[in-house]
């Protein structure tokens, strides 16, 4: 069993994010899902991203760190798209991290430190032709991170959807999302 801190994407705590957390809980894991948007959920990705810009990406990362403050140190940090920012920062900088799961985004390791911590295993998942993941530098950052992480894995899925793991959105893709879930459950189960 692992304890996971799962950060939602820019559309907020959607029904799909909640369902994903329930899938992990159903497998015996403890999952915390903080609401970085203070109750707001956006029907449109661009609207959510615009809200994040106005709020400030740094503020959202700070809210993510605050969500972790009262939790144990040995967490697995997970995030989808924009939620990868606080997840990756905490996995890289908070002592005791057990692992990281980065869905549909990755930032350069140098954003939060010089190197990825050798003791922190990481899985990264994204679609090979997703304009946000493959076209904006996240895929390159993911490849670089996995190249330096002793226990790093990058999984690419065919397609061009962003937020393909959120079953409450039109971008959801059932087959690759199921593969992501299976791989994440294997990852969490292997952490001992």
Mean of pLDDT values over 4-10: 96
Distances (CA, A) of 175 to 168, 179, 181: 15, 6, 10
Distances (CA, A) of 3 to 29, 79, 91, 139, 156: 6, 14, 13, 27, 25
pLDDT at 160: 97
d(CA 86, CA 10): 12
Mean of pLDDT values over 128-140: 95
179-191: pLDDT as tens digits: 999 999 999 999 9
- pTM higher than 0.75, yes or no? yes
Walk me through the domains of the chain, giving residue ranges and CATH numbers. 3-189 (3.40.50.1820)
Contacts (Cβ under 8 Å, ≥6 apart) of 142? 102, 106, 124, 126, 154
106-126: pLDDT as tens digits: 999 999 988 999 999 999 999
């Amino acid at each position: 069993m692992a304890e996971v801190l799962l950060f939602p994407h820019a559309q907020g705590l959607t029904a799909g994010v909640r369902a994903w957390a329930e899938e992990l809980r159903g497998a015996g894991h403890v999952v915390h899902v903080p609401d970085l948007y203070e109750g707001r959920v956006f029907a449109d990705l661009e609207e959510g991203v615009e809200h994040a810009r106005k709020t400030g990406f740094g503020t959202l990362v700070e809210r993510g760190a605050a969500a972790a403050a009262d939790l144990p140190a040995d967490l697995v940090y997970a995030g989808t798209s924009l939620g990868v920012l606080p997840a990756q920062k905490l996995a890289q900088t908070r002592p005791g991290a057990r692992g990281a799961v980065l869905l549909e985004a990755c930032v350069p390791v140098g954003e939060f430190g010089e190197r990825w911590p050798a003791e922190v295993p990481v899985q990264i998942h994204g679609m090979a032709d997703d304009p946000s993941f493959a076209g904006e530098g996240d895929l390159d950052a993911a490849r670089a991170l996995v190249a330096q992480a002793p226990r790093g894995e990058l999984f690419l899925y065919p397609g061009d959807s962003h937020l393909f793991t959120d079953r409450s959105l039109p971008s959801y893709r059932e087959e690759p999302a199921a593969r992501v879930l299976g791989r994440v459950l294997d990852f969490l189960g292997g952490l001992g």
